[in-house]
Amino acid sequence: MDLLGTTSTVAVSCYALLSTVYKSLQAFYATRENAPSLSRNLTHPAPALPSVDVIVPCFNEEPHTLAACLSSIAAQDYAGKLRVYVIDDGSANRALLEPVHRIFASDPRFSFILLDKNVGKRKAQITAIRRSSGELVLNVDSDTMIAADVVTKLSLKMKFPKIGAAMGQLIASNRSDTWLTRLIDMEYWLACNEERAAQARFGAVMCCCGPCAMYRRSALLLLLNQYESQFFRGKLSDFGEDRHLTILMLKAGFRTEYVPDAIAATVVPDRLGPYLRQQLRWARSTFRDTFLGLRLLRELDGYLTLDVIGQNIGPLLLALSSLTALAQFAVTATMPWWTVVTIASMTMVRCGVAAFRARQLRFIGFSLHTPINIVLLLPVKAYALCTLSNSDWLSRKVTSVPSGDEKQAVIQSRASDKELQEVSS
């Protein structure tokens, strides 16, 4: 039984050492200024801003959610040419979405593409990309609202020719709904303002998240065939399109960036079931593209190697220490205090640092994420690793969507826009 205690102690000690080094460097690089922002250096915008195509794939979306998304795009304060392509990927509730389509079809900037059958988000995006012609392409999820200056801020960042992709900061539009949405909103803040911000210090954000990411068309055209025909173990892969496209951009020699003041609010799961299914899909995507991204590491800064180790080896050490500690308690009825105290201490330090950096005491409550991670998320990641060949989206099945008239959809979309502006300010 001493073996269990020793294994748990060694594993949690290695986890603590790795996490301390990794998180300290991450916080250091995340708080340092990345590339200078053009918006700070220019009193007036450039006379000729690039043309931007906004791509919005939609599948079985709720009418008021889609209306809120399109309303936020229509309200963009962008001086350049803007076109919006909304592509309905064979939605079963298309009859309920038609009133929303009619509202925005009156705007000459909007085009609607209606597919006869569901082909998947990636192919839907590619269909719209091939029909459009703007210099920049902004992918926006149909459940996401973007602040009025997002297109401007992302396009200004994309003025640098070596940048192939850039993402904005994600927040949860429904963060006040449940304890879980509040937790996910804090998780998003940490993922954006620690992980992505540190990666952006080296021009290598490893995943420009799907809800709001801009790409250079010339780079996209070089990679579109590879992007469309991603296979894993002989099966066509559809999910994880954002991470895969980002890795392809990096492999092609382009920089990928993070723009923290380009705010996008997206709907997050408010129940554990959908949340865990989402995490399973993301974990499979992360494992698949981590293998692909390993070849990049020798060309990137050493911190990015530590980042990959911290995100993949760290959870394994945490899982090993937790399992052996639980086994020790079950067999000997003795509490593995070193493991418990170490994990608890690291949790409170991380939450305290986040609360200090964000200037928000609510991040102390993120300590709840640790037991959820150990009890639920680590088993989900283990299952994902064992089922990497499964490409089921596990979400967006045909659901009954509450109907509503055109006026109600517009009222709700405008109210959501106002909430987004309040949150982003």
The share of the chain scoring above pLDDT 90, in percent, equals 73
pLDDT of residue 365: 96
Q: Is the pTM of this model over 0.85?
A: yes
Q: What is the mean pLDDT of residues 336-352?
A: 94
Q: By C-alpha distance, which of 312, 298, 330 is closest to 382? A: 312
**Cα–Cα dist 190/176, whole Å:** 18
- Letter for the amino acid at 60? N
Tokens of 30: 């995340």
Supply φ then ψ for residue 54, to 5 degrees.
-100, 125
Dump pLDDT digits (tens) for 138-165: 999 999 999 999 999 999 999 999 999 9
Q: Other CB atoms closer than 10 Å to residue 40's CB: what's the count?
A: 7
Q: Are 110 and 86 in contact (CB under 8 A)?
A: yes
> Residue 395: which pLDDT band, with cuts at 50, 70 and 90?
low
Supply φ then ψ for residue 216, to 5 degrees.
-85, 125
CB-based burial label for 36 (10 Å; 0-12, 13-18, 19+): exposed
Q: Other CB atoms closer than 10 Å to residue 166's CB: what's the count?
A: 28
Which runs of consecutive H residues, i.e. helices, occur in 240-367?
241-251, 272-293, 302-332, 337-358
Q: Are 278 and 210 in contact (CB under 8 A)?
A: no
Q: Are 197 and 29 in contact (CB under 8 A)?
A: yes
Supply φ then ψ for residue 43, to 5 degrees.
-70, -40
**Cα–Cα dist 124/153, whole Å:** 26
pLDDT of residue 231: 67
> Residue 240: which pLDDT band, with cuts at 50, 70 and 90?
confident
Residue 405 has pLDDT above 90, yes or no: no
Radius of gyration over every alpha carbon of the chain, rounded to an integer in angstroms? 22
Q: What is the mean pLDDT of residues 311-318?
A: 93
Supply φ then ψ for residue 268, to 5 degrees.
-115, 160
- Kindly give, in sequence order, each residue whose CB lies less than 8 Å from that of residue 23, ignoring residues fewer than 6 positions away: 194, 310, 350, 353
pLDDT of residue 22: 96
Residue 414 has pLDDT above 50, yes or no: no
Domains of the chain: 49-282 (3.90.550.10)
> Is pLDDT larger for residue 337 or for residue 237?
337
Q: What is the mean pLDDT of residues 51-74?
A: 97
- Kindly give, in sequence order, each residue whose CB lies less than 8 Å from that of residue 108, ignoring residues fewer than 6 positions away: none
- Letter for the amino acid at 105? A
Residue 308 has pLDDT above 50, yes or no: yes
> Residue 35: which pLDDT band, with cuts at 50, 70 and 90?
very low
Tokens of 240: 């994880």
Average pLDDT taken over every residue of the chain:
88
pLDDT of residue 5: 85
